[in-house]
Amino acid sequence: MRQKIVAGNWKMNKTLEEAQILTSELMGMVADEVKGNVITILCTPFPYLVPVKNQLGQSTIKVGAQNCSEHDSGAYTGEVSAVMLKSMGIPYVIIGHSERRQYFGEDGKLLATKVDKALASNVTPIFCCGEPLEIREKGTHEALVKQQVEESLFHLSAEAIQKVVIAYEPVWAIGTGKTATSQQAQDMHAVIRQHIAGKYGAAVAQEISILYGGSVKADNAKELFACADVDGGLVGGASLKSREFVEIVKSI
């Protein structure tokens, strides 16, 4: 059975004190209210990874980074490698978020290298894919997303790709208040899974968790998570509010 996952992407938000308050609230709520086999992940800014991890202690909540370098080490001022994440005991990292693609020019070849670096360090990549509005309106969104998956993941072995979590994020629904309908989400998740099955076989494709991201909120999470191929969510703004984020986790 595929793992159910809800990951909160804090992006570049919160002071350290605010991050610790939010973490404390979430720890209590998740322990008291969340039942069932769901992995909850907090993807914090780099400076907060160790403080939040230490604060979580034996909590079931995990911590993740929002990016990693394509290099292991060297003269790359400001970068953080997957080797460093491993040394800190960070089990997850987001790779290829649309904001990284848009603002920092990250392409499929670069992201393939980042995925390799994460896997080599036993850090689970949460690989993001998704289309901007103009591609959706042209009707070529399926082709683009399949291309993104191919470019960055299809070099992997069948064993390795099963260690990757995929997050489908329609770029036009990130931070806009717009959300793909549950049918739109299901349709694209099914396309991704079928595309993986075409390369690796149905058994492998059925083992990979595919998350939906794009203005996931407490009031739409249950409908989205009820879709057959939606295995959870990568949550942006709503993850900064403890009550709303916990309600999303409970929805799964």
Are the CB atoms for 121 and 65 separated by under 8 Å?
Answer: no
Tokens of 217: 């909120």
If one counts every other C-beta atom within 10 angstroms of the C-beta of residue 71, the result is: 15
What residues are paired with 92 via a beta bridge? 64, 124
What is the greatest pairwise CA distance in the chain?
Answer: 48
Tokens of 218: 């407490």
CB-based contacts of 64, cutoff 8 Å, min separation 6: 7, 41, 42, 43, 44, 90, 91, 92, 93, 94, 126
Rounded CA gap, 22 and 243, in Å? 10
Tokens of 242: 């403890």
Closest to 192 in 3D by CA, of 111, 129, 125: 129
Are the CB atoms for 173 and 165 separated by under 8 Å?
Answer: no
Residues labelled as active-site residues = 97, 169
Q: Classify burial at 79, counting beta carbons within 10 Å of its beta carbon; exposed 0-12, middle 13-18, buried 19 or more.
A: middle
